[in-house]
Amino acid sequence: EAGVAQSPRYKIIEKRQSVAFWCNPISGHATLYWYQQILGQGPKLLIQFQNNGVVDDSQLPKDRFSAERLKGVDSTLKIQPAKLEDSAVYLCASGNNSPLHFGNGTRLTVT
């Protein structure tokens, strides 16, 4: 089966600019997650979708981060405006209960 697809692979922006990441989960996976992985740390959950509904966004900084999964398949994560501390790898994962399958992530550098 095809894995979780993410794009772009890398993105460099200046602080206060906006950026968007895209994720296409494994076909048939109802649950989709966005994780933030800061260098040297484990993945931290930002938001979890079940189909096109939000299950958990308690750790999403909603003043600057937003995410959607309009048709219950693809998802986008947006940051506006970006801060230096947003520099990280943004991982998308999908699954039906367990286990989770991860994409290769988007590495964001904010300068």
Partner 1 sequence: GENVEQHPSTLSVQEGDSAVIKCTYSDSASNYFPWYKQELGKGPQLIIDIRSNVGEKKDQRIAVTLNKTAKHFSLHITETQPEDSAVYFCAASIGNDMRFGAGTRLTVKP
User: Would you count residue 95 as binding partner 1 (CB under 8 A)?
Assistant: yes
Footprint (CB under 8 A) of partner 1, residues 9-68: 31, 33, 40-45, 48, 50, 55-56
Instruction: Find the shortest distance in angstroms from Cβ 82 to partner 1.
Output: 22
How does DSSP classify residue 16?
T
Question: Collapsing DSSP states into helix, strand and coil, what is residue 84?
Answer: helix
Contact between residue 4 and residue 26 where contact means Cβ atoms under 8 Å apart: yes
Which tokens sit at 29? 């996976």
50 vs 80 by CB, closer to partner 1: 50
Contact between residue 52 and residue 72 where contact means Cβ atoms under 8 Å apart: yes
User: Would you count residue 91 as binding partner 1 (CB under 8 A)?
Assistant: yes
d(CA 65, CA 54): 14
18 vs 50 by CB, closer to partner 1: 50
Positions touching partner 1 (CB under 8 A) are 4, 31, 33, 40-45, 48, 50, 55-56, 91, 93, 95, 97-105
